Chain A
Amino acid sequence: MTEFLLGVWNGFPGWSQTTLLILVKILAILLPLILAVAYLTFAERKIIGYIQARIGPNRVGPRGWLQPIADAFKLMLKEIIVPTNANKFLFIMAPVLVFTPALAAWAVIPFTDTLVLANIDASLLFVLALTSMGVYGVIIAGWASNSKYAFLGAMRSAAQIVAYEIAMGFALVGVLMAAGSLNLREIVLHQEGGIHQWYLLPLFPLFLVYFIAGVAETNRAPFDVAEGESEIVAGFHVEYSGMAFAVFFLAEYANMILISALVTIMFLGGWLPPFNVAPFTWIPGLGWFLIKVSLILFCFLWFRATFPRYRYDQIMRLGWKVFIPVTLVWIGVIGGAMFLTPWGYLFH
């Protein structure tokens, strides 16, 4: 049997072998990711349920564990309604445009030292570029729906993303100054040696800014003015139904996981254990990575259950007048410390 398979495999021409291998690897990343997204929605409902002293979904399957599957089926069977006078092509394209970058960015995420699909040189920039693309889907959805509420949501989202993109970029500048590299894998390797080496400590302000900006970039509460269900019903995706809506939903959660993974890689030492001593080193690297990502994800859900929504002007103020100055000052501090004072080692 194995021989037969090998024979078939060798029968393919060289270029198609590489392509197939890459395809398999992509699937190996995407399938667990989509599963994770599905169960993140379940986790959200459960966790928020418990925070609010309720039980959450518990009817479908044992203890409600089949709930996301049921939701997926329900959405798939529903009709996608295209509103009159909507731009049909853009209307359908918008969810795709939101979802694709959220998935594509995973190509460069290092899960462990060796487990990475494409170990490219400027992977940090690649991720930043892709995360900034997601806003197009939101804007296009809002515009193509031909609805006032959707349009308002799109406008809010565009302004918000532009404001927070800058702070996010500057926070990453701090990280790459400390690591001296744009490669995510090398950034993690620079944090080797235990929790005190993680960038969490020396770059704490940047960590906060990046994390909060990440929450804003994914349009999650308390920064979910683009959706704002109590003011503009559901913002940019008010006109979407069925699978098209589901894709928006999936993209939001995929982006949450992505941001959590990035925070883990850049500030929490990626796959590295917090202490290089026995009980901690027993857990494999991938395990640590997943634990850290889950912790950050929990914070996302926790925020949603805790904070009231920011007002639009407050969001703008926070982005432009607090985050950008904070990051700029801290970059100055890092640069100054590295080149002018003997305390530069703190940031390496």
Chain B
Amino acid sequence: MTFEMPNILPAVPEIFVFSMACVILIVDLFLSERRRIVSYLLAQATLIGAAILTFKLMVSEPVFTFSNMFVADRLADVLKLAIYAVTASVFVYSRDYLRTRGMYRGEYFVLGLFGVVGMMIIVSAGHFLTLYLGLELLALSLYAMVAFQRDSSQATEAAMKYFVLGAMASGMLLYGMSILYGVTGNLEIAAVRRALAGMDADNVMLIFGLVFVIVGIAFKLGAVPFHMWVPDVYHGAPTSVTLYIGTAPKLAAFALVIRLLIGGLENLAASWQDILVILAVLSMGVGNVIAIAQDNIKRMLAYSSISHMGFFLLGILSATPNGYSSAMFYVLIYAVMSLGSFGMIILLSRSGFEAERLEDFKGLNQRSPWYALLMLILMFSMAGVPPTVGFYAKLLVIQAVIGVGMVPLAIVAVLFAVIGAYYYLRIIKLMYFDEAEDKTPIVAGGDVRLLMGVNVMLLLAIMPWIGVIIDLCSQAIKQLS
């Protein structure tokens, strides 16, 4: 029996994060309530260590290992680094929130790290199997985190809905993958691509497989008409968990789309383009219009995330390298914006008070001009108002769509962006022109305040280096084919 030891070097960051999660799990067992900060610090150290490892192991050419099931390339490295950064910020924001609500337990960080492992696996998957397993690992951690607040019936209901719909989506995805396997005889992404190259793209079976795969992806992304879980989960989950769900997993979802549709099924682009157009238009429409009717800011941001997923799909459906890199840029920026917005909700809430209704933002300017300014920048960026980077993100995806001649689609997108601006601006109106009802001073730890400032200012300060990031994205995309 011969057994070649696979090259585990490229997978060292994954192994490190997983081992550390196990260590934290055990260490946390012996910590008293007061010393829980050790778990938190260990979790942050894990993310920093993983970032260093990923950075050190950065490769210029794609490396395959574990019988081609694992791939380390530029795309994976960039996305992994982004995931570490976002998750670390999530942990900073959520610490106080958890502490004041009796949820300050090591499992939050452990499950968060397991979720990170899942995302890392998706991001560097070279095989349908690993893609699916990574997705399940991530999803399982998320289900548990949503239900973390056991006494809240809202959270339990959200977890239940998330679990049932998520399981169904996984089923769809698996069904699609199995049909594709039946047709191409392969599960390895690169091999599927090769097999498809010599095949008729109009094959009925391929289309069926593709449809199921896309339904699965749309569920995970939360694109209309598979968006039903998004508002309920965002609303029902504790805000710290909403913060987690609404940020880093979007990056993983991007990787899922890229690896599946572009890495494996690019030859079917003509077929998936049409499906994605429908998804994108519906998502932008439904997301932006229904968001207007919400009076809960978490729910509103959930619908806003649906509409953002629509914009992100614009970049993908253009089916050009330019479009993909613009979609990647969009997702990266969206993660930062979403991090800031949910972080702000956490920052404003305190023990026994969730700042999640729109009225809670009334007169924020009187209470704290600085936070009002930060929120203003966030909302401008979300809406895509010019001096912020959110504008560039939208511009790039719309350019990509125009680049392939889909002008009507671009017009629709701009129209919906304008409609969407209404509800973002409404918050700004509430903050600056309404009288504050609640004059309690806002207290937050130094680390949270600092991070919030950096997080939001990034949306402005990054403008001079925007070219660098776009270059990075297009380099990462270039390595795919």
A and B touch in the complex (CB under 8 A): no
Which residues of B approach A to under 8 Å, CB–CB?
A: none
Which residues of A approach B to under 8 Å, CB–CB?
A: none
